[in-house]
Amino acid sequence: MILKRYVRLIFVAVLVSTLSGCSSDNSDLLEWMAEVKAQTKPKVEPLPILKPYKNFIYEASHLPDPFENSLFDQQKPGIAAGNTVSSGISPDLNRPKEPLESFPLDALSMVGTLNQDGQTWAILQAPDKTVTRSSLGNYIGQNFGRITQIEDYSINLKEIIPDGLGGWIERDASISIVE
């Protein structure tokens, strides 16, 4: 009990001394704040000067129409308007599509080769993780690519792609095993 009285007495003494510190005169603090406010002058940047808007009228009536077919024909010498240059190459659009023709060539990956009864097969993996074997003459990729050579670590093929003039051209491509 005596201990509780001493604790209360110490608590009251600390509380009284704390409150007495708060009641002191703050006039020096108030004077300093008034002095700083009087010395500080706010800087306001002037508003930027706006340049007058100049109206621009776009007139392209003297330029050729970029969507007109004859513009492309004019840029390619030797090609008359409406004519196309045929190289004699064209894909067989009537043949049934093979399973690996539904994937772009860069989405297919070669995972190996298989030799069976004297025939070499390329083992290809599609993006859907299905594994398929292909041999010479099979079609792969979306550009009518036909396998022309199978090596231990790569496949060579010829693709038939549009030439931009209404015809077709052949392009060499290959798929290699990536380790």
Hey, where are the domains in the chain? 99-176
3-state SS, residue 31: helix
Give the mean pLDDT of 4-8.
80
CA distance 141 to 108: 8
> Is CATH 3.40.1010.10 the classification given to domain 99-176?
no
How many Å apart are CA 90 and CA 1, to the nearest integer?
110
> Are residues 124 and 106 in contact, defined by beta-carbon separation less than 8 angstroms?
no
Predicted confidence at residue 13, as pLDDT, reads: 80
What integer pLDDT is reported at residue 156 of this predicted model?
94
pLDDT exceeds 90 at position 140: yes
Read off the pLDDT of residues 26-38 as tens digits, 9 standing for 90 and up: 788 888 888 888 8
> Does residue 74 contact residue 82 with C-beta atoms inside 8 Å?
no
The H-assigned helical ranges of 23-164 are 27-39, 69-75
Under the banding of pLDDT at 50, 70 and 90, the label for residue 24 is low
Q: Which of 33-42, 90-99, 106-115, 142-151 comes out lowest in average pLDDT?
A: 33-42
Distance between CA atoms of residues 152 and 120, nearest Å:
9
Q: pTM value?
A: 0.52
Query: What is the predicted pLDDT for the residue at 174?
Result: 92
Instruction: Using the predicted structure, report yes or no on whether residue 82 has a pLDDT greater than 60.
Output: no
